[in-house]
Amino acid sequence: MSGPTAREAVLGRIRDALALAPPGRQPVPRAYRTGRTLPDDERLALFTGRLADYRAGVRVCTAAATAEAVAGALDAHGARRVGVPPGLDPAWLERFGGEVLVDSAAVSPRMLDGLDAVVTASAAACAETGTVLLDGSPDQGRRALSLVPDVHVLVVGLSTVAAGVPEALALLVPGRPTTLVSGPSATSDIELERVEGVHGPRVLEVVLRTDA
């Protein structure tokens, strides 16, 4: 095909458009709240309250009691076969009596679908919105792992819970495959009524470690 490529054509149209209607450049006012900090007890109360609003489960514990809290969350949902990312601290599953599958490239989506639950760590969290951020680090695993099983147990350290959205996003490393999770999967597509549990995990259990 002759003539300019689509790329040249579109960029040319953009330049023409901006020449015909020259932009009035104005600075971006970033006067919204950033750099907020809140004391531990306030972040804890805010974060757990917001998670409860999404009908996510919350278990608050110390780092030493992580294994107990994780086992409690898995047992509460009758999970017997549990997937974990390769970098997860094995000590976290010491109190769990079921079968643990360590994820790898050899594990197919269908095998993930056969799991009862998944346990992962997290990269950061946001108290104001009850959001947990996953970035694919070895203790969080690839995205499919925390998506396909029906129960997701998320271990969060209180020190990584930021006050608001700007503060939490600032903790991310851009370019990593990132997922922001705010409660279990949900839909409001039927009469705008929120229903928890569609394609993503229908159960979200957050284990919040107060001294980690």
DSSP structural state of residue 92: G
- Which of 166, 171, 210, 212 contacts other proteins by CB under 8 A? 166
Radius of gyration of the chain (CA): 21
DSSP helix/strand/coil, 12 = helix
- Nearer to other proteins by C-beta: 22 or 97? 22
- Which of 20, 39, 97, 106 contacts other proteins by CB under 8 A? 20
Contact characters 86-125, other proteins, x per CB under 8 A: -------------------x---xx--x------------
- Number of chain residues interacting with other proteins (CB under 8 A): 75
Beta-bridge mates of residue 125: 132, 161
- Which of 66, 120, 122, 131 contacts other proteins by CB under 8 A? 131
d(CA 86, CA 89): 9
DSSP helix/strand/coil, 61 = strand
- Which of 63, 76, 165, 171 contacts other proteins by CB under 8 A? 165
- Rule CB under 8 A: is residue 143 a binding residue for other proteins? yes
For residue 20, with 0-12 CB atoms within 10 Å meaning exposed, 13-18 middle and 19 or more buried, which class applies? exposed
Options 27-35, 64-72, 76-84, 91-99: segment touching other proteins (CB under 8 A):
27-35
